[in-house]
Structure 1
């Protein structure tokens, strides 16, 4: 693994989950995620504790049919989260080489969301954050104040937005980029690091389409999504959410150029419809 860093786990944590103290700091995971053997250990921030408990319950009980997930592992004393904020998960094998597997991934995303269709909307979705606000802007009214550098791009996309009918909100994975999908030729696609939102499944698919299409400049891949209900409108909302997230975090420099290119590709795609 390029850039991997060795890490020595505290003896207490290693004992709690019966793992070797020699671990690797994983590239994803915001510097708080480590792998020891086939176990992934995550150190949880207090502000994400409620969401982590909810995710543990979701993945502990989920029926894997057409997809794989990383299941939680209890500590030796039966806790999902230790007193000092550690959780453990089964490591999923796989790579992120999605190009040969796009139809398979689309089916796995659909199957994953079928499995969680009836999960109730949790109360922490009402919390205020840059990500939650950006999601609301993609579906509702824009705020009065937008990063002036990207405001023209947002308003261009907003002009394409239309009401949609016949789709239902449910719990979705709202950040399905290639980094959160693991592929092995002999296994079903793995879906990891859920970012939960309450939106239509079609929107989750549009997020995936955004990352492999406009973001990479490969608009040909959008042909795989033609049968998705209201796909164009979902892609518009995905583009708005991406831009508004960067506005919330005061996007600057190279990030602007990247999001500008992907947004203009979406606009060109819609203009040709």
Structure 2
């Protein structure tokens, strides 16, 4: 990940953040800047950042801390590609069941929210990370996996592990069955982004929107936790009360395989854990 440069003076001025020093927030590299009790961060997509800000502005979820957006002096949520949010203390921890409990409460609160229009837009060149995740999401649900990616002209994976992830994706696609669940706005990237600070309530700083069943978003957490988070295998069973659980795990695993196949920064070291989940899911469906 490339370190984030300091926000320019006009951004600080527009958000009214000129009275405090800039303190880098690090996560291996600089991922944002703290200015007093505010965090400034670059956004990958202005429309999604503004949507997330509006969604979080007055959202209340029992037992959760939520970073609130700071509006600029002219009312904007995003200025020159930067957003500002209240600082919430904490860091990610491997408390997987608690993250899943956060997901249930959060998605209950988001259930009535309208589908953002930008989620209907197909991926388009020049491709960004947003386009990659958009195409990967569609790959798990469309009749022919990766059809949207190919139609948009996304390059086929050339690495051996990329090709392997496509083969695993095709294998799982053959095991799919129709899903009869209501889709809603969900946060599709909760693994590794929920912040914990001792006994304080868990916190989120963003909402990464997808329009899928709530159980799918929980399944993504489980897939990530099993593949890369050191979770015990019983995590699947502990959350098996969720609707159409094996089918949601299948679609979530397909989503992650598609991300691995399409993303230019995918690491070969990430695939073995994901293939382990593939084997587990094949036994369930």
TM-score (norm 2): 0.79
Greater RCO between the two (CA within 8 Å, min separation 6)?
2
Aligned partner of 2:224 in structure 1 is 211
* Mapped contact 1:113–1:201 kept (Cα < 8 A): yes
Task: Give the structure 2 partner of residue 95 of structure 1.
Answer: 91
Partner deviation per Cα, 1:201-252 (whole Å, 9 max, x = no partner): 1011011111111334532322321211112211111111111122222566
CA distance in 2, matches of 1:263, 1:161: 17
What residue is the counterpart of 2:136 in the other structure? 134
Query: Aligned Cα RMSD in Å?
Result: 2.8
Distance 1:158 1:8 in 2: 44
Q: Select which of 170, 174, 177 maps to 1:162.
A: 177
CA deviations 1:14-63 (Å, max 9, x no partner) are 34323545223334599663112321012345xx2222221111111212
Shift of 1:124: 0.7
Residue pair 1:154, 1:244 contacting (<8 A) in 2 also? yes
For the pair 1:184 / 2:197, whether they are aligned, the reply is yes
3-state SS of 1:247 partner: helix
Residues of 2 paired with 1:51 and 1:30: CA distance?
A: 23
> How far has the Cα of 1:269 moved from its partner?
4.8
Q: Which runs of 5+ in 1 are unaligned?
A: none
Local SS of the residue matching 1:112 = helix
Q: Distance in 2 between matches of 1:72 and 1:14?
A: 15
CA contact (8 A) 1:203 1:238 kept: yes
Unaligned runs of 5+ in 2: 124-130, 151-155, 158-162
Contact 1:11 1:21 in 2 (8 A): no
